[in-house]
Amino acid sequence: MSLETHFSDRLVARIQQIESRLVVGIDPRLDRLPAEISADDPEQALSRLGEGVIEAVAQHAAAVKPQVAFFERHGWRGWRALETVCAAAARAGIPVILDAKRGDIGSTAEAYAEALLGDEPGTLGCHVDALTVNPYLGSDSLEPFLVRVRDHGKGIFVLARTSNPGGAEFQCRDDDAVPIFEQVARSAERWGQDSLGECGFHGVGLVVGATYPDDITRVRQAAPGSILLIPGVGAQGGSIEDLAAAFDDSGLGAVVNSSRGIVQAFEQDPERPWQEMVQEAARDKQLALQGVSSAG
């Protein structure tokens, strides 16, 4: 996918082209593979599963979100499989949001940015459109990533209000006049101004869990130009019906992630072709999300 345009414009164009606000998370596990895929060779198994998922969801997913941990736990074989999967998505014209939640300072942050959002041959960055990042070391820790957003058409999704219960310990403490997640959202709106696309959104998105719909409203108000990446629907308890505040009047402004509910859909009926089950689950989620509107 060309990087001559802003990430936000590319993602919105994809959303409008296929009428989908779905992100398919790819979190592969070797102990939960379709019967047709052997786990003897981790690289081959992870690659076959990831490429098969991409093929199955190509007409239904606005983006895919490979989770780095599920690949790198298998060492160099997993890392090579991750590159294979990201490259397959890029060839299919599907934006890749790499879920790595990186965050560090100085030269370390720069190295992460080069590896995961750069253009050096042989690195993941060649195939990645956007990256999840952790803001809690401060704005200087994000600057190398923001350079890729401003100058190279990449995107980032900054952790704001995460879907896990323990996130509240720091993100919205009772004695904070303004919750930290809202402060992060305000900062993201400021960081993104130099990457504003024609679509009206910029390249600094925010991660906000579906498990806290009231906080989605607060984040949307604090960062009207950020595209929201919303995990937590399904297994974590979030409801599609509670997501209306994330979207504008045109149905834009957010994408919703589903991982296990789609990638592991084949477990519901092992007798059917596994990619058929994955495709069906993605289509169902795509249609369910079309029913959400900003009017609620």
For residue 214, what is the domain's CATH number?
Answer: 3.20.20.70
Q: How far apart are CA 25 and CA 67, in angstroms?
A: 7
Where would I find the H helices in the chain? Answer: 7-18, 42-57, 69-72, 75-91, 106-117, 139-152, 168-171, 180-191, 213-222, 260-263, 274-290
Is 154 part of the annotated catalytic residue set? no
Token pair, residue 1, equals 């996918």
pTM more than 0.85: yes
Rounded to the nearest 5°, which phi and psi values hold at 78? -65, -40
296 belongs to a structural domain: no
> Any idea what DSSP says for residue 246?
G
2 belongs to a structural domain: no
Rounded to the nearest 5°, which phi and psi values hold at 259? -110, -80
275 belongs to a structural domain: yes
Res 296: pLDDT: 41
295 belongs to a structural domain: no
Name the maximum alpha-carbon separation found in the chain: 55
- How many separate domains does the chain show? 1
54 belongs to a structural domain: yes
Res 49: pLDDT: 97
Q: What does the pLDDT profile of the chain (296 residues) look like in tens digits?
A: 445 689 999 999 999 999 999 999 999 999 999 999 988 999 999 999 999 999 999 999 999 999 999 999 999 999 999 999 999 999 999 999 999 999 999 999 999 999 999 999 999 999 999 999 999 999 999 999 999 999 999 999 999 998 888 887 888 787 888 899 999 999 999 999 999 999 999 999 999 998 888 899 999 999 999 999 999 776 666 678 889 999 998 999 999 999 999 999 999 998 999 999 999 999 999 999 998 765 44
Token pair, residue 95, equals 């934006």
Cβ proximity of 216 and 228 under 8 Å = yes
1 belongs to a structural domain: no
Domain extent, residue 284, equals: 7-290
Instruction: Give the closest residue to 100 by CA, choosing from 84, 88, 82, 75.
Output: 82
- Residue 203: how many other CB atoms lie within 10 Å: 32
Rounded to the nearest 5°, which phi and psi values hold at 148? -65, -30
Token pair, residue 275, equals 């990619």
Token pair, residue 234, equals 């399904």
244 belongs to a structural domain: yes
Token pair, residue 41, equals 């060779």
Position 151: which residue type?
Answer: D
Res 233: pLDDT: 77
Res 237: pLDDT: 61
Choice among 65, 101, 154, 285 that is catalytic: 101
